[in-house]
Chains A and B, each alone.
Chain A
Amino acid sequence: MSFLAATHMTCGYGGANIIEDCSITVEKGEIAVVVGPNGAGKSTAMKAVFGMLQLNEGSVVLDGRDITHVPPQDRVPLGMAFVPQTGNVFVSMSVRENLEMGAFIRDDDITPTMEQVYELFPILHEKRNQLAGELSGGQRQQVAVGRALMTQPKLLMLDEPTAGVSPVVMDDLFDRIIEVARTGIAVLMVEQNARQALEIADHGFVLVQGQNRFTDTGKALLANAEVRRSFLGG
């Protein structure tokens, strides 16, 4: 059994199902990437895994525990952290306060974790007293990931972390995500920049119209001629 096993998920908004019989799995210390064309249900699948959408069918199992019916805020203490695509920082609060809020559920000393986050994102230490709303797009994403890491999650979920940042910042952000995974955290990520994301992915899930089309290692998917032709532009 995988560390996170979201299997046979079927759900959507209102009556229509956006994703059908969709399965996503992640192992500890690995990066799993969900890619696919626009409207394939990538973000919906992400929301389903985090419990923000009720599943009509299927189940979500984290570390051997069935959490299908656990509401999203109760999944945070279980070790899941979610970085939404937009609105993922507290704009009116300082970088430091953003990190403190990330650790809200913890009662122990959070300074070591904060040091680790500063080590991973040195720019955040430099700007720790600045309001998150005053930072650039790339720096905000770092705050967002940093905030999520403050809960000391076992599974980090990122919804298009590189949306709207420059290619240089994107490469940098991917490097940091690899570092995060090396500490033993399972990373699940939805990405628009499919090629670059698959390059760092241990496992890739290609979704089309809400269903799994291809599932393989990142390398194999990049080498797959059909995947390249259909989704990676040749």
Chain B
Amino acid sequence: MEILNALALLTNFVLIPATAYGAQIALGALGVTLIFGILRFANFSHGEMMSFGAMATILFTWLLQGQGVSIHPLPTALLGLPVGILVAIGVTLTADRVVFRYYRNQRVTPITLAMASIGLMFVLAGLVRFIIGPEHQNIADGERFLISAFEFRNMTGLDEGIAIRQTQVITFVIALIAVVALFWFLQKTRAGKAMRAYSDNEDLALLSGINPDRVVKIAWIITGALAATAATLYSLDKVYQPFIFLQMLLPIFAATILGGIGQPVGAVIGAFVVAYSEVMVTYAFRRFVGYLGPNDWVPDSMIQLMSTNYKFAVSFIILVVVLLVRPTGIIRGKVIER
């Protein structure tokens, strides 16, 4: 019984939240890795592209809510998401047209494109604050729990409850659908294979008659869709805050580099490694250990490796260690060149 309680505790506070968080990072990292694979630069504006997509979702959700539209028990934001995706795609395609295409045609080094993306990041961040404001927005309006801790305790008779929030399930299901759809696209369709070919060997792709403009366009469309989805799911699961997306760049880039740059499978693996590390390192294991120890014994300390305030340090450490020990990542990817 004690062991089950310990496991329930861990599931409730580590496993479930980290899985949802990992799914959100995975969607973000997929966009970054895709753009790196095709356009060969680190897109620092990705976080704000996500933010912009989520903002569009929220604005449209408010409009729907104002009209009295509801899909209770599901959150209304799911209806707003397609609009968010379209707006994010609009942002990515416009950004490419206005900023990145110019530098691409100049055949600049990757670092120049990365710098341009930082500029774009500030522009988008400013626009978001201008449009929706810097405050946080809570948009989760559906049923809160699929199973509440109270219900779980009654069902199982354990002391510890496992609460599964609806937004966590929605996050996981939508992320799963998105990832499966993306991999199906990359592995099975003509356009997807052309993207992989272009990412693998640009010159040979040209010799094979693959149109680079089309590949770039598809990459941005997928990136925009993934970005809006990731940010909307994150905002549903937690809360929408414009400044959070600058911070999220760190775990997203850590996941991308850990998985191997330009490797979609690696991005997903990397995202979950980062998410689990972050949650586990900042979780206080005091009660967990208490259940496993002798009767009624609880350790005095919190058994917490790091304060939650430092959670981004975990991503940073992973990033530094990977770059030092295995710069190509788990699945051998590209190495960022200057």
B205 touches A101 (CB 8 A): yes
B210 touches A104 (CB 8 A): yes
Known contacts A97-B193, A101-B194; A90 and B201 CB within 8 A of each other: yes
A76 touches B208 (CB 8 A): yes
User: How far apart are A21's CB and chain B's nearest CB, in angstroms?
Assistant: 27
Interface residues of B in 274-305 (CB under 8 A from A): none
Interface centre among A97, A101, A105 (most CB of B within 10 A): A101
Q: Does A29 make an interface contact (CB < 8 A)?
A: no
Q: Does A8 make an interface contact (CB < 8 A)?
A: no
A91 touches B207 (CB 8 A): no
Closest to B194 in A: A104
User: How far apart are A51's CB and chain B's nearest CB, in angstroms?
Assistant: 11
Interface residues of A in 33-71 (CB under 8 A from B): none
Q: Does B151 make an interface contact (CB < 8 A)?
A: no
Q: Does B63 make an interface contact (CB < 8 A)?
A: no
Q: How many Å lie between the Cα of A147 and that of B205 in the bound state?
A: 11
B209 contact set on A, CB distance < 8 A: 73, 76-77, 104-105, 151
A147 touches B203 (CB 8 A): no
A89 touches B204 (CB 8 A): yes
Q: How many Å lie between the Cα of A89 and that of B207 in the bound state?
A: 11
Interface residues of B in 199-231 (CB under 8 A from A): 199-201, 203-211
Known contacts A73-B209, A93-B193, A104-B194; A84 and B200 CB within 8 A of each other: no
Q: How large is the interface on B (under 10, 10 to 19, 20 to 34, 35 or more residues)?
A: 10 to 19
B193 contact set on A, CB distance < 8 A: 93, 97, 100-101
B210 touches A88 (CB 8 A): no
Q: How many Å lie between the Cα of A146 and that of B201 in the bound state?
A: 17
Q: How many Å lie between the Cα of A93 and that of B187 in the bound state?
A: 10
Q: Does B197 make an interface contact (CB < 8 A)?
A: yes
B207 touches A92 (CB 8 A): no
B207 contact set on A, CB distance < 8 A: 72-73, 76, 81-82, 84
Interface centre among B196, B203, B207, B210 (most CB of A within 10 A): B207
Interface residues of B in 57-96 (CB under 8 A from A): none
Q: Does A12 make an interface contact (CB < 8 A)?
A: no
B208 touches A105 (CB 8 A): yes
Q: How large is the interface on A (under 10, 10 to 19, 20 to 34, 35 or more residues)?
A: 20 to 34
B211 contact set on A, CB distance < 8 A: 73
Closest to B187 in A: A97
Interface residue from A82, A87, A89, A92 paired with B196 (Cβ < 8 Å): A92
Closest to A97 in B: B193
Q: Does A102 make an interface contact (CB < 8 A)?
A: yes
B210 contact set on A, CB distance < 8 A: 101, 104
Mask: chain A, 99-110; 1 = CB below 8 Å from B; 0 = not: 011101100000
A77 contact set on B, CB distance < 8 A: 209
Known contacts A93-B193, A101-B194; A84 and B208 CB within 8 A of each other: no
User: How far apart are A198's CB and chain B's nearest CB, in angstroms?
Assistant: 27
Closest to B37 in A: A92
Q: How many Å lie between the Cα of A82 and that of B208 in the bound state?
A: 9
Q: How many Å lie between the Cα of A73 and that of B194 in the bound state?
A: 15
A81 contact set on B, CB distance < 8 A: 207
Q: How many Å lie between the Cα of A100 and that of B187 in the bound state?
A: 12
Q: How many Å lie between the Cα of A51 and that of B32 in the bound state?
A: 34
A93 contact set on B, CB distance < 8 A: 193, 196-197, 200
Interface residues of A in 91-126 (CB under 8 A from B): 91-93, 97, 100-102, 104-105
**B contact residues vs A (CB 8 Å cutoff):** 190, 193-194, 196-197, 199-201, 203-211
A-B contact pairs, 9 of them (CB 8 A): A73-B206, A89-B204, A90-B196, A91-B200, A97-B196, A97-B197, A101-B205, A101-B210, A104-B194
**A contact residues vs B (CB 8 Å cutoff):** 72-73, 76-77, 81-82, 84, 87-93, 97, 100-102, 104-105, 147, 151
4 extra A-B contacts, CB within 8 A, seeds A93-B193, A147-B208: A77-B209, A82-B207, A91-B201, A105-B208
